[in-house]
Amino acid sequence: MTTLLDFPIKPEARPYLDAFAETPSEPQWLRAARRQGLDSFARQGFPGRRSENWRYLDLRALEAHPLLPAVMDQPMGIPSGLALAGDGPRLVLVDGRFAPGLSRLAAAPGVWFGTMRQAIAERPELVQAMTVAADQPFAALNAAFFAEGFVLDLAPGAVFERPIEIVHLASGAADASLHTRNVVSLGRGSRATNLETFAGPRADDANYWRNDVAAWRLDDGAALTRIALVEEGAGAVHLGEVAATLGAGAKLDAFVLLLGGGTVRHAASVTLAGAGASCRIDGAFVVAGQEEANIVTAIDHAAVGGTTTELVKGVAAGRGH
């Protein structure tokens, strides 16, 4: 949908503005948020290497050859030979869409676990409250185009004993971008463990861009453990953005392992908003050939007595960096 905005538009943003179309069936608050995200991206465009947070990542190929959002009404391309082990709770997204036949949405007292589309209908106040700063250009683009994702909402004191598995699969069937948005909200004293996998075909000609944004809120005394594995296709771009807020005495343990993808960036912004909150952010990467991997963290100790521990290790071969 071509738009006429009253401010200069970055030229690389134009194809995404032209591809944007409102969905009349969506609630007004969501349509307004999408428009705000699109306007923010139009102002910012792609970050360049003069930006400190992006100076080590080369996005010129993506800027020159736009990957527009995937068409959601096409048949789902389930990867052949796919086998998912385990019998615990699991939510699977294929090319950014919910795959009910591969998922197992277990119920538990005080726990709401489902897709973003379900949450927009059943938990709209939660989705509205969990926002990500629009000054991040790809988070803003995600706000305009996200179609699906997952939401985990735990009531105060609720404990999900079994790890919750989230699987993000890319079929590589079409050159496109996959925009997913996820929310984790843990009530006071609640506890959960998330295992997330991002995977795609290993073929060099698999050309897609995954733009994943997550908002986490841990109320006082809550605890979240999150382990993520990124093993995208050899030609893929993977940009992951996490924004977390921790209440008093809350505890966040997060680990990300970057094993595959042409260009991969994992960013975490954590605000220790309550006294005595603690955060551990660890990571590891393996790159070869001409692969690029970035792990970026920003921790804001906004209250007294907070602690942060970070450890990142990596192996690079060839021209990987």
pLDDT tens string 284-319: 999 999 899 999 999 999 999 999 999 999 999 998
Tell me the percentage of the chain whose pLDDT exceeds 90.
Answer: 76
Quick check: 235 pLDDT over 80? yes
Residues 223-230, mean pLDDT to the nearest whole number: 98
Identity of residue 198: F
The rounded distance, in Å, linking the Cα atoms of 263 and 195 is 22
Q: What is the pLDDT of residue 2?
A: 44
Contact (Cβ atoms closer than 8 angstroms) between residue 123 and residue 151: yes
The percent of residues above 70 in pLDDT, for the chain, comes to 93
pLDDT interval class at 75 (50, 70, 90):
low
Provide the pLDDT for residue 79: 62
Nearest to 228 by CA among 179, 274, 306, 295: 295
In one-letter notation, the amino acid at residue 26 is E
| Range picked from 133-137, 177-181, 204-208 for highest mean pLDDT | 177-181
Q: What is the mean pLDDT of residues 114-131?
A: 94
Compute the average pLDDT of residues 91-102.
Answer: 94
Residue 195 has pLDDT above 70, yes or no: yes
- Average pLDDT on 52-57 reads 86
pLDDT mean over 63-82: 77
Indicate the average pLDDT of the chain: 91
More confident site: 109 or 246: 246
147-185 pLDDT, tens digit per residue, is: 999 999 999 999 988 999 999 999 888 899 999 999 999
pLDDT of residue 6: 64
The pLDDT tens digits for 23-51 are: 999 999 999 999 999 999 999 999 987 88
pLDDT for the residue 8: 81
What pLDDT score does 222 carry? 98
Q: Answer yes or no: is pLDDT of 196 > 80.
A: yes
Higher per-residue confidence, 75 vs 87 = 87
Residue range 118-128: average pLDDT?
95
Q: Which residues of 216-252 are buried (b: 16+ CB within 10 A; e: fewer)?
A: bbbbbbbbbbbbbbbbbbbbbbbbbbbbbbbbbbbbb
Mean pLDDT of 250-261: 97
